[in-house]
Homo-oligomer: A and B are copies of this chain.
Amino acid sequence: MSFNRLITKIEETDNPTVVGLDPNLSFVPSFLMEKYFREEGKNLKSASKAVIEWNKGIIDSIYDIVPAVKLQLSYYETLGHNGIYAFEETIKYAKENGLYVIADGKRNDIGTTMNAYGEGYIGNVSYFNENMKVYDVDAMTVNPYMGYDTVKPLLDICEISDKAIFVLVKTSNPSSSQLQDLILENGEPLYITVAKLVEEWGENVGAVVGATYPKQLEQLRTLMPETFFLVPGFGAQGAKAEDVKTAFSNKGAIINASRSIICAYKNMNVDERDYKKATRKAIIDMREELKSVRS
């Protein structure tokens, strides 16, 4: 019951928000970038060090009032091995501060390959009788396009390690309808079939359902009573509290916001050195906004 840890943390903080740590370099406060540039030049290593310091600052400012963080892998991967080092350091710091950590990579591949992803993210890498934890996050996101045998290795790892996966069902982006809403011969859209599969795949499998499609979110919440939801699309992508209110019934949900939180210092037009205060304020505002629809 790997979602229980997350659900308990949501109850403790009375806040169903997961903060997206998505360090697009254009979001990183420039005083941090400049600090490391001066020390070691303009390169991927110094950029990654600025990312680490920024992420730690964000965590410092919110760890006591949010249950979880979600790291979007692309922003770390795009900085090369230094970026992955920043990913590792951020995970470590988030866990030390008691946060539930989700790695958002939306991976999907053949079984042996998914097993390797699973070992690295939520299990152990083993060789020569050594077992090593690599990223050791609490949950990872998965794309379902390749079907069950590509998800099964992760389910086995979740079972042993008390970890979880979130499978894409209906995503938050504008053209998610292009494939996901295609009507099948049974008269239902594709995402409904995916939803039924995800519900079958068991208690360690959550669903990603975009806040930007409130009708489908409501429909899926009813169809998948036993499935915990990860709901992206709040804030910068346009969704409001009213759009996500149905997500909280049944098994419950966590709402992701990234840019609206981590770029709060820009949105609130405060000095970038005060980014921590702005981040904390944005989280409190979001928590209060969500309270109005959680009842």
Contact = CB atoms under 8 A, between A and B. Distances in A.
Contacts of A72: 109, 113
A39 interface: no
A24 B190 CA distance: 34
A33 B128 CA distance: 9
Determine how many copies of this chain the complex contains. Answer: 2
A193 interface: yes
A61 interface: no
22 contacts: A26-B127, A33-B128, A72-B109, A74-B113, A75-B113, A78-B120, A79-B134, A80-B88, A81-B87, A106-B107, A108-B108, A110-B171, A111-B173, A143-B146, A144-B145, A146-B173, A146-B175, A146-B176, A147-B179, A149-B174, A184-B184, A190-B190
Given A25-B127, A75-B113, A184-B185, 20 more contacts: A25-B125, A42-B130, A44-B134, A74-B109, A77-B116, A78-B116, A79-B120, A80-B88, A81-B81, A84-B84, A145-B171, A145-B179, A146-B176, A146-B180, A147-B179, A150-B173, A178-B197, A179-B193, A183-B185, A185-B185
